[in-house]
Amino acid sequence: MRLFWETRNTYLIQARKVVGTIRYRVMIVMGYLGAVVGAGFASGQEIVQFFVHYGPNGLYATAVATSMFAACGARLLYLAHAQKASNYQDILKYLLGDRIGKLVDVLVAAFLFLGISTMLSASGAVCYEHLYLPKELGILVAYSAVVVLLMIGKKGLIYSYNLLVPVKLFLMLLIAGYATFFIHHDPHDARVLAAFHNENWNWLISAVLYVSYNFSLAMVVLTQYQSITTRRNGILGAAWGGLAVGGMVVLNYLVMQKFLPEVAHYQVPMLFVAGQVSLTAKHLYIVVLWLGIITTALANAYGFTQRFAQFTGASFPICLIMCMTLALPLSMQSFSMLVATIYPIFGFIGVSIMLALIYKTTKDIGREVYYRLIRSLHSVWEA
């Protein structure tokens, strides 16, 4: 009997460890998905612009993007643990040096602030265009949601992602998956689709730019997980997250490709797709779109407020309210205008961060492998 209880306790301890390991990795996956699968992704506009416009070559672009998301995510968490960095400023400083790191930090902070305004504007646009309510109401609801969810700081960000992201992803997968595999669509006009067949290598540049500007925002979120995960869980969780993001990109590419050329004429293509499923699905997708806006706003608001609190020395809750309030005037501008102006610029900043990340981590990993090999050879020689 004693042996039975000892064996049982041993298995329970091992089971708890496994569950704990999976839990932390899933948390990182949710964080990665929450940062990347935001308003632009949920709308379908990003997928159309960066992948669907390249026709069949767009599928190759999704494969490249998936590989880059997984590799860069894993490298970022490797670096965060190696440098014991739990905020993106420390990562930028290590990657780019003091001067350039500070300059890019200022640019990232500016983008995060502009991102807050953009997401508030997006919430207002959804409220006005699809619910036929005042734009100001949509902005106010998003403002209130972000402030309430982030009031406790990092824990608020992580708990919010664990709550909101699974709901958003479930609804998105349900509608996109159903439309992809169960909705019949008439064959496309070959002459129309010829415009979407691109034989050059622009699809590769498009994939790199897509990952670069999305990864810059993901970096703000992912570095927060360094302090609550082990090195192994952090690296594997980020790699899983990158593959999950890539899987979402592939699924949305397939559904958009199926509904060409119609989707190319809509500002929110996925609402058109959801409408092909049913009116209920279209209404549910409005919820998905709004959750995408909120999760993106959370990442932007947390990153900028953290930076603002360090600069001013004020408490995080006070800085949060100040930053959100300062973002209100710009949020009254057109959502499409803000996206067209802000995001392309930040894509090129993201490229510099990714290149530095790949270079530094390759160098560090190579050095680590070299020293391990030397120690192993030395041990064999002594034996």
Which architecture, in CATH terms, is 35-378? Answer: Up-down Bundle (1.20)
CB atoms within 10 A of CB 178: 17
Instruction: Using the predicted structure, report yes or no on whether residue 147 has a pLDDT greater than 60.
Output: yes
Q: What is the pLDDT of residues 239-249, one digit of tens each?
A: 999 999 999 99
d(CA 237, CA 137): 37
Q: Is 313 helix (H, G, I), strand (E, B) or coil?
A: coil
Instruction: Give the residue carrying structure tokens 């190319």.
Output: 264
**Stretch among 20-24, 26-30, 37-41, 339-343 having the lowest mean pLDDT:** 339-343
Report which residue type is found at 35: A
How do residues 126-138 score in pLDDT, each as one tens digit?
A: 888 777 889 899 8
What does the mean pLDDT of the chain come to?
82
- Please compute, for residue 377, the number of CA atoms within 13 A of its CA located in the half-sphere on the CB side: 6
The pLDDT of residue 191 is above 50: no
d(CA 220, CA 195): 37
The answer to whether the CB of 39 falls within 8 A of the CB of 122 is yes
- Sequential DSSP letters for 188-252: PPHHHHGGG---STHHHHHHHHHHHHHHHHHHHHHGGGGGGS-HHHHHHHHHHHHHHHHHHHHHH
pLDDT of residue 76: 92
Give me the residue spans of the domains in the chain: 35-378
Q: Whole-model pTM?
A: 0.80
Task: Quote the pLDDT of residue 190.
Answer: 47
Model pLDDT for residues 203-222, shown as the tens digit of each residue = 898 898 889 878 887 887 88
